[in-house]
Amino acid sequence: MPVPQERPTRQGDKLLTSGSYTNTPRCGAPRCDKSTRESKPFCPDHVAEAPYVAGVLGELKARSDELLRLKALIEADAKKPWKTIDVRGGNCREVLRHLSMFGGRTVERLNREVFQTHEALLTEHVVRALIDACLVSVVRTGRGSLMVSLLPRGAALL
């Protein structure tokens, strides 16, 4: 006849069992009793509550909001919409970081590799803001595209 095992009990944030069982970490979210893997603090349903993940999600939202504001200005036919872009913001920093890692890129290629959109006009305005701040330089290629290169002042921001 099988021997009945003790029921697990809660103590702090760990599930305690006796016998051959080990301590199983549990999700740190309130009212969540799911187990986690590899001693992670949150289950997959609540991973956004981890401080690092919340920071990354906040940065992505800020970048997205900045592009949406820029797009609205472009659609409203505002004069010089690139003047509203914060050159220390996430989108500009991402372009500068990309240029520092991979070297000069055309505006079209930056659009594909950094912003991954079909709206090259947004990328052109971000580049124009970086030009105005003297962080990048541009030259026209033999095929007519603009080649964007990182200047030392731009590299200093990274």
Specify whether the CB–CB gap between 146 and 140 falls below 8 A.
yes
pLDDT in the model for residue 158: 85
Cα 109 to its chain centre, rounded Å, is 19
- Grade residue 121 by pLDDT with cuts at 50, 70 and 90: confident
pLDDT in the model for residue 3: 57
pLDDT beyond 90 at 12: no
pTM of the model: 0.67
pLDDT beyond 80 at 23: no
For the chain, the domains span: 1-46, 51-156
In CATH terms, the fold of domain 51-156 is: Arc Repressor Mutant, subunit A (1.10.10)
pLDDT in the model for residue 7: 52
